[in-house]
Amino acid sequence: MTAPQADLSGWTVAPFTGGGYTHDVYRKGAGPGVVLIPELPGIHPGVLGLGNHLVDNGFTVAIPSLFGTPGKPATGAYVVASIARACVAREFAAFATNKQRPVSLFLRALARDLNASTPGRGVGVIGQCFTGGFALAAAVDDSVLAPVLSQPSAPLPLGRARRANPGLSDAELATVADRCANDGLCAIGLRFSEDNLAPRERFASLKKRLGDAFEVIEIDSSPGNQGGFAKGAHSVLTEEVREVDGQPAYEARKRVVQFLTERLH
């Protein structure tokens, strides 16, 4: 059995401008809105499989194409090329600490736009891998009620300081922490236990600031783990999902859908 995948069938696309940037955004579904930020290398078939799953569960999904070629499979060479381009783009500030990443302004504008055109109390934002932390940065905006950080990997964890860095500026984190303390904002973070790209120290920093409002789902990927995950397991909601009850990544995806449903409906 392989991870769920899909193509671009049924998705509509149009450019969206916000925060000084313009990107194509793929939309599908009906119901409360969820911004699904793709992982590297882009909107690959696994991301589209996750998007279709969210649509099937009653959400309007908007996927911004921030990098890569939409619909293209995630081959090794394609991933490496996308990483190289993303790492030098000022929009993402891949190595920076205590910095508001310019892409967060675009994502907040997209969240506000999606919220204005969909039912529900607000929108969810799911970030993955390189874009994992962008979901929490988007939650500076009041329209975002359900940020999900799946294996957040930026800033790239080179050195102790970057491993512990939460992935957004101090000012942004202070705003999010205030929303958690006073407005009932909650967030979910997901990682595999042995995943060095999404360091445990980063989750500890977020937990320290956000407290009980930050729910951590850590899936065992140590040698001999019951889920059969390789030590290099990384993509919790896409590549590692097998649609079998009890499979840890599948159960994690269920929890994310439950969280979005609880928060947005």
Residue 94 has what pLDDT?
62
Q: For residue 2, is it within any domain?
A: no
Name the token pair of 122.
């607000």
Q: For residue 4, is it within any domain?
A: no
Residue 79 has what pLDDT?
84
Among the listed residues 28, 264, 13, 19, the one whose alpha carbon sits nearest the alpha carbon of residue 148: 264
Which CATH number does the domain housing residue 115 bear? 3.40.50.1820
Residue 33 has what pLDDT?
98
Q: For residue 7, is it within any domain?
A: no
Residue in the structure block whose two tokens are 């993955």: 128
Helix (H) or strand (E) holding 149: strand 144-150
User: Do the bridges between strand 214-219 and strand 12-18 make them parallel or antiparallel, or are there none, so unpaired?
Assistant: unpaired
The 3-state DSSP composition of the chain as helix, strand, coil percent (nearest 5) reads: 35, 20, 45
Q: Per residue of the chain (265 residues), give pLDDT as tens.
A: 899 999 999 999 999 999 999 999 999 999 999 999 999 999 999 999 999 999 999 999 999 999 999 999 988 899 888 877 877 778 776 667 767 888 999 999 999 999 999 999 999 999 999 999 999 999 999 999 999 999 999 988 889 999 999 999 999 999 999 999 999 999 999 999 999 999 999 999 999 999 999 999 999 999 999 999 999 999 999 999 999 999 999 999 999 999 999 999 8
- Full domain range(s) for residue 96: 12-264
pTM of the predicted model, to two decimals?
Answer: 0.96
* Buried-exposed string 36-73: b where 16+ CB fall within 10 A, e elsewhere: bbbbbbbbbbbbbbbbbbbbebbbbbbbbbbbbebbee
Q: For residue 196, is it within any domain?
A: yes
Residue 156 has what pLDDT?
86
Residue 1 has what pLDDT?
86
Q: For residue 3, is it within any domain?
A: no
The domain total for the chain is 1
